Structure 1
């Protein structure tokens, strides 16, 4: 039997490559709204973050998340990201 390939993604803050299921996905949907995609299935432009407060803060401070999504972040999303620490997507 062959082993199943594990999809890997890169955190926009620390640039480490980890399995997709270990990261938080933030999505800009077609209508321009932003949301956290917990299942990884929502269509739209996505960016991945490690589930640590250090990576979230670094991505916000350096605006990497905004550049990756090509849209400014709203305060509600920022507050939700800061509460997720330690919880995989």
Structure 2
């Protein structure tokens, strides 16, 4: 019988729910104060996770959740980039299954 591996969970900064790390994307703020999408989850800096839900990204933008989390101004361009990334990843999960 296969041993159940522990699924790494992370807290979604938008919904405040704990979700599997695979279903989320990490956003990182570097020491220089720059914010970026971290697909590998390995960049150094302060990280926060958001779920792969395009609607949630819109909510985050409206409520300025990233600004509050990272204490910096977040450009509309970054939210657009994040929305497109999340939208694309979600579509891939639906196409190929969540385990890819």
SS of the residue corresponding to residue 73 of structure 1 reads coil
1:86 CA displacement = 5.1
C-alpha distance in 2 between matches for 1:57 and 1:75: 11
C-alpha distance in 1 between matches for 2:3 and 2:61: 40
Normalised by the size of structure 2, how large is the TM-score? 0.77
Structure 2: 5+ residue stretches without partners = 91-100
Q: Which residue of 1 aligns with 2:96?
A: none
What are the residue-to-residue correspondences of 1:1-89 with 2, within 5 Å?
Answer: 3-84=4-85, 85=87, 87=89
Normalised by the size of structure 1, how large is the TM-score? 0.85
What is the aligned-residue RMSD (CA, Å)?
1.7
Question: How many residues are treated as equivalent by the alignment?
Answer: 88
1:6 CA displacement = 2.2
C-alpha distance in 1 between matches for 2:71 and 2:46: 9
Higher relative contact order (CA 8 A, sep 6+): 1
Consecutive aligned runs of 4 or more in structure 1 exceeding 4 Å deviation: none
**Greater C-alpha Rg:** 2
C-alpha distance in 1 between matches for 2:22 and 2:56: 16
1:17 CA displacement = 1.1
Structure 1: 5+ residue stretches without partners = none
